[in-house]
Each structure stands twice: as C-alpha cells, then as structure tokens.
C-alpha cells in the first residue's frame, strides 16, 4: 500500500493484479446484468450472415458468452489466474467480456464501479478473516442463480467476519 495506514486506496488498484483478476473472473461467470439492457434495431441490418429486422429487440446474453467453451478454457471453473496471462478487460474493447456493455450506450457507471469494487473487496479481504455459516466449505457453496434483469444468487451468501486481521 502506498500509504502508512495500510488502507487500500484507488492508486493501489493497478498494483493488485490478482484482485483485478478475481473481479474480472466474477464478471465473467456472474455478470450482474446477464442480458445487458434491451436494445432495438432502428433498421434492417445483416451481421455475419444473420438478418436482424427493423424493430427487433436485441438481448445480448453475456452470461452465456462468459461460459462459451470456444473462448474460455474450463469455462465453468472459477479461475482468476486466467486473467493474469491475457490482457482482456471489461472496458468495452474486448468483446468476450462486456458486463458493462460496449459502444456509445455502455454503462456510464463503469469507472466508479471499477474503483468501488476493488476498494470495497480489497478492504474486506485485507481487514477480516472470513468463514461461512455452519462451517461450510467454500467448495460446497451453492452457486445457483436466479435470472432476471439482474442476476442474483439463489441462496444469499452468508459470510461471517471472524476477527480483524
């Protein structure tokens, strides 16, 4: 940490590649907006041989894109390390990972979300030891999801902070 109090700050984010990788991997497997936001075609358009007719509603299934075995090795496995080896980011340039969308209607909250997520998660990990309710093992957590405009866990996560580190 750059500061004496060991409190994670915005300028530390670039020095924490594994934290960045964990957040990317979470966006890959559990995008908060699994179909982005619906768009509508304003005219007939052909994309790679597919005709999209005028007025068609377009949903972009980023949940499925994040699990596409043609793009990701071991797609169902939570493996942040994969992002240490490649330069894929979620800022709208790498189309295999677009949890905030891409193009001119992409999420304007990206920058603040990027900062907040790293600072909040980093602070929670840095300051507390954690355990799961009933001494459950991490590998036994039910990661099932409820689909909707936003993606939610089937069973809410109950993580218990044990003590200050």
Residues near ligand HEM (CB under 6 A) are 32-33, 36-37, 99-101, 105-109, 112-113
Nearest distance, CB of residue 152 and ligand HEM, angstroms:
13
Which C-beta is closer to ligand HEM: that of 37 or that of 141?
37
- Contact criterion met (CB below 8 Å) for 161 and 129: yes
Q: How far is the CB of 164 from ligand HEM (least distance, A)?
A: 27
> Is the Cβ of residue 37 or residue 159 nearer to ligand HEM in the bound state?
37
Q: 109 or 161: whose CB is closer to ligand HEM?
A: 109
Considering the complex, state which of residue 37 and residue 162 has its C-beta at the smaller distance from ligand HEM.
37
Min. distance of Cβ 6 from ligand HEM in angstroms? 26
SS (H, E, C) the chain: CCCCCCCCCHHHHHHCHHHHHHHHHHHHHCCCCCCCCCEECCCCEEECCEEECCCCEECCCHHHHCCCCCCCCCCCCCCCCHHHHCCCCCCCCCCCCCCCCCCCCCCCCHHHHHHHHHHHHHHHHHHEEEEEHHHCCHHHCCCCEECCCCCEECCCCCEEEEEEC
Nearest-approach distance from CB 26 to ligand HEM, in angstroms: 10
């Amino acid at each position: 940490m750059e500061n004496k109090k060991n409190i994670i700050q915005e300028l530390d984010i670039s020095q924490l590649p594994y934290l960045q990788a964990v957040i990317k991997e979470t966006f890959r497997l559990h995008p908060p907006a699994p179909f982005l936001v619906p768009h509508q075609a304003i005219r007939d358009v052909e994309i790679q041989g597919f005709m999209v007719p005028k007025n068609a509603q377009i949903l972009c299934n980023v949940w499925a894109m994040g699990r596409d075995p043609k793009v990701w090795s071991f797609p169902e496995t939570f493996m942040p390390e994969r992002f240490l080896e490649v330069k894929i980011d979620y800022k709208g340039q790498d189309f295999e990972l677009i949890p905030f969308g891409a193009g001119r209607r992409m999420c304007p909250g990206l920058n603040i979300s990027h900062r907040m997520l790293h600072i909040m998660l980093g602070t929670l990990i840095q300051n507390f030891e954690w355990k799961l309710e009933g001494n459950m093992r991490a590998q036994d957590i039910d990661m099932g999801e409820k689909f909707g405009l936003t993606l939610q866990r089937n069973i809410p996560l109950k993580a218990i902070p044990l003590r200050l580190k």
